[in-house]
Amino acid sequence: MPADPALPSHPVLKLAAIGTLAGAFSGLFGVGGGTVIVPLLIFWFGYGERLATGTSLAAIVLIGLLGAIAQGGIYGNVHVVTALLLAVPAVIGVVIGTAVQQRISQRMVSILFAALLIGIAIELVLK
């Protein structure tokens, strides 16, 4: 399946806004950055769903790393062995998920993302 066409370089300020918003939302609502990064890349930068979700995952590596270092280093709340053991099935899941994503339409990715957002909204209201 062909990737999206080559990208023009984007204004750093818009990216900075996405990074800051993703961080702010995770600080405000305790949700991960991905729920913010993916729609903003789609609506502000015109990314296709696959490019938006792939770039989001790469950004999350950094966001999570900085957060985990702060939590683990400062507060000692990270259960490392538990995380590593449960990361095994989770990694199997993400490898299957990314492979499946290449075989479904980008429109379907948008609809699945919308379904996730609706689920999160319901969970927040019921809290």
Partner 1 sequence: MSGDEVLAALICMAGGFTGGIVGVGGGVLFVPALTIFIGLTQVEGESTSLLMIVIVALIGAIRQNSYGNVNVRNAIIIGVLSPLGVLIGVAIANHVSERALQLSFAALALFIAYRLIRRAMAAPA
Site for partner 1 in 55-114 (CB under 8 A): 55-68, 71-72, 75, 77-80, 82-84, 86-102, 105-114
Name which of residues 6 to 65 contact partner 1 (CB under 8 A). Answer: 7, 9-10, 12, 15-16, 18-35, 37-39, 42-43, 47, 50-65
Find where tokens 């890349």 sit. Answer: 41
The least CB distance from residue 102 to partner 1, in Å, is 6
Give the count of residues interacting with partner 1 (CB under 8 A): 101
The least CB distance from residue 19 to partner 1, in Å, is 3
Which residue, 21, 5, 25, is CA-closest to 13?
Answer: 21
The least CB distance from residue 8 to partner 1, in Å, is 11
* Distance, C-alpha 88 to centroid of its chain: 19
Which three-class secondary structure state does DSSP give residue 104? coil
**Residue 102 DSSP symbol:** T
